Chain A
Amino acid sequence: MGTYLVRRFLQLAVVILLATMVIYALLNAVPGGPLSGVRQELINTRGATGANVASDMARLQRDFDLDLPVWQSYLRWLIGWPKLADRPNRGGILFGDLGDSWQVARGQSVASLIQSRLGNTLLLMTSATLLSLLVAIPIGINAAVRQYSAFDYLATTGAFFGTAMPVFWFGMMMIMIFAYYFKQLGWFYLPTGNAVALRPYDVPFLGTVLPETILDRGLHLVLPTIVLSLLYMAAWSRYTRTSMLEVLRQDYVRTARAKGLVERLVISKHALRNALIPLVTIIALQIPGLFGGAILTETVFNWPGMGRLYISGLNAGDWPLVMSLLFITAVLTVVSNLLADVMYTFVDPRIRLS
């Protein structure tokens, strides 16, 4: 196990290094260069012939290392080396210096920007993941145990609905029904978006809700969580069903029945324990998502999380921000893959890492 982990960490380092090269190369390959958006902005505000456009661009290019050879600017972004006297030097992304935002919050460090969004995303993603698992696994088990029953067909149809439903449409429908119409009718209603309210509001049954209380946060969480969960539930209930069907055919399930175990125990102990093993991968690979957020859901619900931060960064051409988020996702993805492999050894005694 020890040597295995060492080997895996070395592989992991190589993969991350390759990922940084790809990230850096792709964002530098944007047509017109990384600063094309900034140049357009300068031209729009000052006119195409404005003399200072060229000098401003030159200054910006120097500030962002774009005047250097690519290998040099890449290394300076990656590890903060070589140090140069004529411009600000940084620590390098590998050492945790993510740089400063250019556009989304000009001058603010990417790290503080992420810090302000991470909590919201973790809250949303964790509740959606937990809710989905709690609903999807029992649905999958029941659908498998009663294969081709009315329940199974219902679950299948529901899963197709969940997968096929575009989040931007389904999310807006939910807002329309539960936030808008319900409020119009004077019923209990939910907030349309955001993570917290700005001022107190009245909800039937609950009375006045004060901003930033747990109740306020909870109410704001409901709709985005449901919309996001529907997608996960659809996929995960299918995985569970397939895995369970596979296990129910196994000889050891027959043995458990022949032993005289009641069917409930055969399913919940002998079959389920085996059926959940493949779900380890799914749960582990959900980890990057927990930090990365959900772009569509966060956009529809105006949720101040990482997914929306990423989209605003892309739209604004805020490359340090985008590269940092891509880098973090890459690291989390390879680490959670390793984590999944290690977790397998705990849930499946047949697997030994060597």
Chain B
Amino acid sequence: METVDNILEIHNLKTYFFTEDGEVHAVDGVDLEVRRGETLGVVGESGCGKSVTFMSVLRLVGMPGRIVEGNVVFNGQSLLELPESEMVQIRGNKIAMIFQQPISSLNPVFKVGDQVAEVFETHQGLNHEQAVQRAVEMLAQVGIPDAKRRAESYPHEMSGGMAQRVMIAMGLAMTPELLIADEPTTALDVTIQAQILDLMRALKERIGMSIVFITHDLGVVAEMADHVAVMYAGQIVEYTDVGTIFREPKMPYTQGLLGSIPVLGVIKDELDSIPGTVPNLVDPPNACRFAPRCRARVEHGLTICEQAEPQLLPVGSTTHKVRCWLYHDCPSLNYVAPHSTGIAAEPRLEPSATPARA
């Protein structure tokens, strides 16, 4: 097995929200690694837990949410065990994060230059004048014309694209080792989106950082990512390199996602869609979260999907992992998968689970 240099490893991360309706398992056992220097795309529909996963990495999940289990290792250091006083030295310094709505992510009552400068004041102890000067340099670096004057602007005086550049300047101010970009282009129109993606790629080359790119846009993933993790209902359901995910997606959910994208030059009367809606994450059963919407389950007549929770295990190559009963056997239930890879899962079972008739 090849040795890989991971900048970030997430082990069995569980972040639950304790609401009046019950425990919402927003992130339910996520295992993920980000390799040094690569861009990891994290894909999934709204509410699948992709943002919460990385908010948990920075420990920014607020009440009523809480990380209940798991481990986050950044550069060999376990982040969840750090005291808050050391955690603040990592946020914005070693790991930076930028968000979806750039204008509302900037504080409306402070000038943008001052908001970027605050990063230098916080992490380098610069005085305000020096910090503002560095901030203007940063703003120029992210392609803001007339940076010195724009630094005096308030967020509401900027366009969405410009505001996202400010957020990027803020994120990259301390040349972080890892940038978490949470849908940074979703709120922008397409031409601006392309500009921002180009900018991020160029800056990544220059700084040599790793990027986690959270998005629901597979086009952006194809353009930016080296590896892709597909999330569904608080879990990673498929993980592989970007070529494989488009060439041979294994998990029915991934296949559905890809099928729902229009392809240039192919005439279709109707785009494919995944039937049903995202499941309720309050106290989910020990079963495949995608089972109720899964066509493959019906086609193969599988009952195990609703009795046992599949695990994220390799298929074919070691880097391609899937969480699906189509590919893994379950000896304890006498189950052999239709596309068995010979790899066995030892899942959590529903109390009612019964071994399949041989």
Q: Is the CB of B109 within 8 A of A349?
A: yes
Chain B residue at minimum C-beta to C-beta distance from A254: B60
Whether B229 sits at the interface, judged by CB under 8 Å, is no
Q: Is the CB of A258 within 8 A of B101?
A: no
CB < 8 Å: which of A251, A260, A262, A348 contacts B105? A251
Measured between beta carbons, the chain A residues less than 8 angstroms from B63 are: 147
Q: Contacts A251-B99, A251-B101, A252-B104: A259 and B91 contacting too (C-beta < 8 A)? A: yes
Q: Is the CB of A260 within 8 A of B107?
A: no
Whether B96 sits at the interface, judged by CB under 8 Å, is yes
Measured between beta carbons, the chain A residues less than 8 angstroms from B89 are: 260
The smallest C-beta distance from A143 to any residue of chain B, in angstroms, reads 14
Measured between beta carbons, the chain B residues less than 8 angstroms from A252 are: 104-108
Whether B148 sits at the interface, judged by CB under 8 Å, is no
Which B residues between 59 and 96 are near A, CB-CB below 8 angstroms?
Answer: 60, 63, 84-85, 88-93, 96
Range of interface residues on chain A?
20 to 34
The smallest C-beta distance from A258 to any residue of chain B, in angstroms, reads 4
Q: Contacts A251-B101, A350-B156: A260 and B122 contacting too (C-beta < 8 A)? A: yes
Chain A residue at minimum C-beta to C-beta distance from B111: A349
Chain B residue at minimum C-beta to C-beta distance from A277: B109
The smallest C-beta distance from B154 to any residue of chain A, in angstroms, reads 4
Measured between beta carbons, the chain B residues less than 8 angstroms from A274 are: 107-109
Whether A250 sits at the interface, judged by CB under 8 Å, is yes
* A147–B170 alpha-carbon span in the complex (Å): 30
Measured between beta carbons, the chain A residues less than 8 angstroms from B122 are: 259-261
CB < 8 Å: which of A255, A270, A273 contacts B99? A255
Number of interface residues of B (CB under 8 A): 30
Q: Is the CB of A349 within 8 A of B118?
A: no
Measured between beta carbons, the chain B residues less than 8 angstroms from A258 are: 58, 60, 91-92, 96-97, 99
The smallest C-beta distance from B157 to any residue of chain A, in angstroms, reads 8
Q: Is the CB of A348 within 8 A of B99?
A: no
* A213–B106 alpha-carbon span in the complex (Å): 53
Whether B119 sits at the interface, judged by CB under 8 Å, is yes
Q: Contacts A147-B63, A254-B99, A349-B156: A259 and B92 contacting too (C-beta < 8 A)? A: yes
Measured between beta carbons, the chain B residues less than 8 angstroms from A350 are: 108, 154, 156
Chain A residue at minimum C-beta to C-beta distance from B85: A262
What is the interface of chain A mostly: helix, strand, loop, or mixed? helix
What mask results when residues 241 to 260 of chain A are scored 1 for a CB within 8 Å of chain B, else 0? 00000000011101111111
Measured between beta carbons, the chain B residues less than 8 angstroms from A257 are: 60, 91
Chain B residue at minimum C-beta to C-beta distance from A147: B63
Measured between beta carbons, the chain A residues less than 8 angstroms from B105 are: 251-252, 254-255
Output the residue of B63, B84, B91, B108 with the most chain A CB within 10 A.
B108
Which B residues between 134 and 190 are near A, CB-CB below 8 angstroms?
Answer: 154, 156, 167, 170
* A270–B114 alpha-carbon span in the complex (Å): 12
Q: Is the CB of B97 within 8 A of A251?
A: no
The smallest C-beta distance from A272 to any residue of chain B, in angstroms, reads 10
Measured between beta carbons, the chain A residues less than 8 angstroms from B91 are: 257-260
Measured between beta carbons, the chain A residues less than 8 angstroms from B108 are: 252, 274, 348-350
* A329–B272 alpha-carbon span in the complex (Å): 68
Chain B residue at minimum C-beta to C-beta distance from A255: B105
Q: Is the CB of A255 within 8 A of B90?
A: no
Output the residue of A251, A255, A270 with the most chain B CB within 10 A.
A255
Measured between beta carbons, the chain B residues less than 8 angstroms from A263 are: 84
Q: Contacts A251-B105, A349-B109: A260 and B92 contacting too (C-beta < 8 A)? A: yes
Chain A residue at minimum C-beta to C-beta distance from B180: A258
Measured between beta carbons, the chain A residues less than 8 angstroms from B167 are: 255
* A259–B98 alpha-carbon span in the complex (Å): 10
Q: Contacts A251-B101, A274-B109, A350-B156: A260 and B60 contacting too (C-beta < 8 A)? A: no
Q: Contacts A252-B108, A254-B99, A274-B107: A259 and B60 contacting too (C-beta < 8 A)? A: no
Q: Is the CB of A260 within 8 A of B99?
A: no
Which A residues between 142 and 164 are near B, CB-CB below 8 angstroms?
Answer: 147
Q: Contacts A252-B105, A260-B91: A349 and B60 contacting too (C-beta < 8 A)? A: no
Measured between beta carbons, the chain A residues less than 8 angstroms from B109 are: 273-274, 277, 347-349
Measured between beta carbons, the chain A residues less than 8 angstroms from B110 are: 270, 273
Q: Contacts A349-B154, A350-B154, A350-B156: A261 and B104 contacting too (C-beta < 8 A)? A: no
* A115–B64 alpha-carbon span in the complex (Å): 56
Measured between beta carbons, the chain A residues less than 8 angstroms from B99 are: 251, 254-255, 258
Whether B123 sits at the interface, judged by CB under 8 Å, is yes
CB < 8 Å: which of A147, A250, A261, A348 contacts B88? A261
Chain A residue at minimum C-beta to C-beta distance from B171: A258
Measured between beta carbons, the chain B residues less than 8 angstroms from A260 are: 88-93, 119, 122-123
CB < 8 Å: which of B97, B101, B107, B154 contacts A270? B107
* A111–B149 alpha-carbon span in the complex (Å): 54
* A258–B91 alpha-carbon span in the complex (Å): 5
* A273–B91 alpha-carbon span in the complex (Å): 22
Q: Is the CB of A259 within 8 A of B107?
A: no
Measured between beta carbons, the chain A residues less than 8 angstroms from B93 are: 260
* A76–B112 alpha-carbon span in the complex (Å): 58
* A/B interface sample: 10 pairs, CB < 8 A: A255-B170, A257-B60, A258-B58, A258-B97, A260-B89, A261-B118, A270-B110, A274-B108, A277-B109, A349-B108
Q: B interface vs A, CB < 8 Å?
A: 58, 60, 63, 84-85, 88-93, 96-97, 99, 101, 104-110, 118-119, 122-123, 154, 156, 167, 170
**With contacts A251-B99, A258-B58 known, what are 20 further pairs, Cβ within 8 A?**
A250-B104, A252-B105, A252-B106, A254-B105, A255-B107, A255-B167, A258-B60, A258-B92, A258-B99, A259-B92, A259-B122, A260-B88, A260-B119, A261-B92, A262-B85, A262-B88, A263-B84, A274-B107, A274-B108, A348-B109
